[in-house]
Amino acid sequence: MNPNKTLWEKGDFTRIAETMRESGDALVADLGIKPGLQVLDLGCGDGTTALPAARLGAQVSGVDIAANLVEAGNNRIKKEGLTNCTIQEGDATDLHMLADHSFDLVMSFFGAMFAPKPFDVAREMVRVTRPGGRIVMGNWIPGDPTLVAQILKISSAYTPPPPEGFVSPMLWGVESNVIERFNSAGIAKENISFSKETFTFNAPYSPAEFVKNFRDYYGPTMNAFEAAEKNGKASELQAELEALFNSQNKSSTGNTSIPATFLKVTVSC
In a domain, 64, yes or no: yes
pLDDT value of position 1: 67
- Cβ atoms of residues 67 and 46 within 8 Å: no
Cα-based angle 73, 122, 223 (whole degrees, multiple of 5): 55
pLDDT value of position 79: 98
In a domain, 246, yes or no: no
The DSSP H or E segment spanning 223 is: helix 219-230
Residue 67 CA: distances (Å) to CA of 52, 89, 140: 21, 6, 24
Q: Residue 166's closest CA among 4, 1, 16, 52? A: 4
Domain count, the chain: 1
The domain that holds 186 is classified in CATH as 3.40.50.150
Q: Which domain holds residue 42?
A: 3-144+164-202+259-268
pLDDT value of position 19: 98
Alpha-carbon torsion angle 179, 183, 184, 187, nearest 10: 130
The C-alpha atoms of residue 171 and residue 2 are separated, in whole angstroms, by 21
In a domain, 151, yes or no: no
- Cβ atoms of residues 66 and 88 within 8 Å: no
In a domain, 227, yes or no: no
In a domain, 16, yes or no: yes
pLDDT value of position 164: 83
pLDDT tens series, the chain, 269 aa: 688 999 999 999 999 999 999 999 999 999 999 999 999 999 999 999 999 999 999 999 999 999 999 999 999 999 999 999 999 999 999 999 999 999 999 999 999 999 999 999 999 999 999 999 999 999 999 999 999 999 999 999 999 888 888 899 999 999 999 999 999 999 999 999 999 999 999 999 999 999 999 999 999 999 999 999 999 999 999 999 999 999 999 999 999 999 999 999 999 99
